[in-house]
A and B are shown apart, each in its own frame.
Chain A
Amino acid sequence: MKKNHWYDYLWIWSILYFALGFFNILFAWLGLIDFLLPLIFAAAGGNKFFCNSLCGRGQLLNKLGSGCKLSRGKPSPRWFSSKGFRYGFLVFFLAMFGSMLLQTYTVAAGAASLSEAIKLFWTFRVPWDWAYTAGFVPDWVAQFSFGFYSLMLTSTLIGLIVMVLYRPRSWCAFCPMGTMTQSICKLKNRAG
């Protein structure tokens, strides 16, 4: 049996993140850790230690898919892991991230008012007003929280859907963070 490390329990963080954001949306900012750490590991260390060992989402998908047997375990479609789809999804994801930052900026500039809602799959608006008391922090800080939480929740939901349909960690095949960090590692490796 392989020894368990402290970081083998980071799947709890994945659940905790959404639980915290349900009660107070400002906790969404903590998600930036999951956004920056993988890039730091890739850029500074030239490795995917985050994906390989620290990713709470990967662990959660594995726990639910393999542990709880919620995954069909069928091979995912070949195009999931094709270069075109992976880079395409990364570009789409970054574009959505950019549009979220733009919305945050518009609120900061006073050109739009704070929208206390979550947007699922970049389409469906879900009211989330209980998780924030207006005026507690500058509006743009709250707007970023709602936007970032939407992004995190949407990507986790996609992850869960492909987990059920295919293999537990099918999401990893086209995870934008994974594509980004692998590309950085490949560039670093080529540079020597």
Chain B
Amino acid sequence: MLSKRLAAIDKGRCVACGACVKVCPRSALSVFRGCYAQVDGDLCVGCGRCAGVCPAGSINIKERVQA
């Protein structure tokens, strides 16, 4: 059962600092080849801790779109 919400990253604004990776309690975040952070949608529970530390304000918690 997936959470209702999850983290969405604005790749154009992300500075790839890795602050979000450090605080994620589910290890759902990683920095893709030094370019931007990416979320593993299966692991993310939408807690919002990453959004709270992101220095660039590039993470928003959004409603999960059911496929």
Contact = CB atoms under 8 A, between A and B. Distances in A.
Interface string A69-88: 00001011010110000100
Contacts of A42: 34
B55 A81 contact: yes
Contacts of B15: 81, 86, 172-173, 175, 178-179, 182
Interface string A158-187: 000000001111111101001101101110
A184 B34 CA distance: 9
Interface residues of A, number: 36
A51 B56 contact: no
A170 B55 contact: yes
Contacts of A119: none
Contacts of B21: 52
B4 interface: no
Describe A's contact surface by its main secondary structure.
Answer: helix
Contacts of A86: 15
Nearest to B19: A169
A189 interface: yes
B17 A51 contact: yes
A58 interface: yes
B44 interface: no
Interface in A123-165: none
Contacts of A167: 53-55
A73 B52 contact: yes
A134 B14 CA distance: 46
A113 interface: no
Contacts of B17: 48, 51-52, 58, 169, 172-173, 175, 178
Interface of A: 2, 42, 46-48, 51-53, 58, 62, 66, 73, 75-76, 78, 80-81, 86, 166-173, 175, 178-179, 181-182, 184-186, 188-189
Interface of B: 13, 15-19, 21-22, 27, 31, 33-35, 52-58
Q: Which 4 A-B pairs have the closest CB atoms?
A: A185-B34, A52-B18, A81-B56, A48-B34
